[in-house]
Amino acid sequence: MYNIAVIPGDGIGREVMDACIKVLDSLDIDFNFTYGEAGDECLEKNGEALPDETIELAKSADACLFGAAGETAADVIVRLRQELNLFANLRPVKSYPNTNALFDNLDFMIVRENTEGMYIAKEEEYTEEGAIARRIITKKAERRIIDYAFQYAKNNNKSKVTGVHKANVLKVTDGLFKEILYEVAKDYEGEIEVEDFYVDATAMYLITRPESFEVIVTTNLFGDILSDEGAGLVGGLGMIPSGNIGEDGALFEPVHGSAPDIAGQGIANPMAMLLSACMMLNYLKEYEAEERLNDAILEVLNEGKTLTPDLRGTATTTEVAEAIIDALN
Active site residue 166: yes
Do residues 218 and 227 touch, judged by C-beta distance below 8 A?
no
* Catalytic, out of 94, 158, 166, 178: 166
Question: What DSSP assignment string belongs to 221-272?
Answer: HHHHHHHHHHHHHBT-GGG-EEEEE-SS-EEEEESS---TTTTTSS----HH
Residue 93 has phi, psi (to 5 degrees) of: -120, 105
- Among positive and negative, which fits the CA dihedral 310, 209, 194, 105? positive
* Catalytic, out of 18, 174, 224, 310: 224
Distance in angstroms (rounded) separating the CA atoms of residues 101 and 95: 6
Could you tell me which residues come within 8 angstroms of residue 85 by beta carbon, excluding any fewer than 6 positions away? 115, 246, 247, 248, 249
CA distances from 184 to 74, 91, 181, 192, 221 (A): 31, 21, 5, 11, 22
Active site residue 224: yes
* Catalytic, out of 200, 287, 295, 305: 200
Burial of 287 (0-12, 13-18, 19+ CB in 10 A): exposed
* Catalytic, out of 75, 96, 119, 158: 119
What does R_g of the chain's alpha carbons equal in angstroms?
Answer: 19
Active site residue 228: yes
Active site residue 187: no
Active site residue 30: no
- Point out the residues that are catalytic: 119, 166, 200, 224, 228
